[in-house]
Amino acid sequence: MIEDKRWKGVYSFDDSPYLMEILTELRDKETDSIAFRKGLVKLGRFMGYEIIKTMETEKVKVETPLEETEGIIVKDRRNVVIVTVLRAAVPLMEGLVKVFEHARIGIVSASRGKPPKFEIEMNYVKIPQITPEDTVIIADPMIATGSTLVRVIEEVKKYGTPKRLIVLGVLAAPEGISRIKERFPDVEIFVTKIDRELNDKGYILPGLGDAGDRAFGAPIKLSNLPQVHPIE
Q: What is the pLDDT of residues 163-173, one digit of tens each?
A: 999 999 999 99
Listed in sequence order, the residues at least 6 apart from 106 whose beta carbon sits closer than 8 Å to its beta carbon are 81, 82, 83, 84, 126, 127, 128, 156, 159
DSSP class of 227 = P
Per the annotation, where are the binding residues for GTP?
Answer: 38-42
- Judge whether 226 lies within some domain: no
**218 within some domain:** no
Question: Domain for residue 51, yes or no?
Answer: yes
pLDDT level of residue 194 (50, 70, 90 thresholds): very high
Is residue 225 scored above 60 in pLDDT? no
pLDDT band at 223 (very low <50, low <70, confident <90, very high): low
Residue 64 lies in a domain: no
Return binding residues: 38-42, 87, 112, 140-148, 204, 209-211
Confidence of residue 160 (pLDDT cuts 50, 70, 90): very high
Sequence ranges of the binding site for uracil: 204, 209-211
Domain that holds residue 156: 2-56+73-211
In a domain? residue 35: yes
What total number of domains does the chain contain? 1
Q: In CATH, what number is assigned to the domain containing residue 165?
A: 3.40.50.2020
pLDDT at residue number 232: 58
pTM: 0.88
Average pLDDT rounded to a whole number, residues 144-167: 94
Task: Cite the annotated binding site for 5-phospho-alpha-D-ribose 1-diphosphate by residue number.
Answer: 87, 112, 140-148, 210
Q: Is residue 83 part of a domain?
A: yes
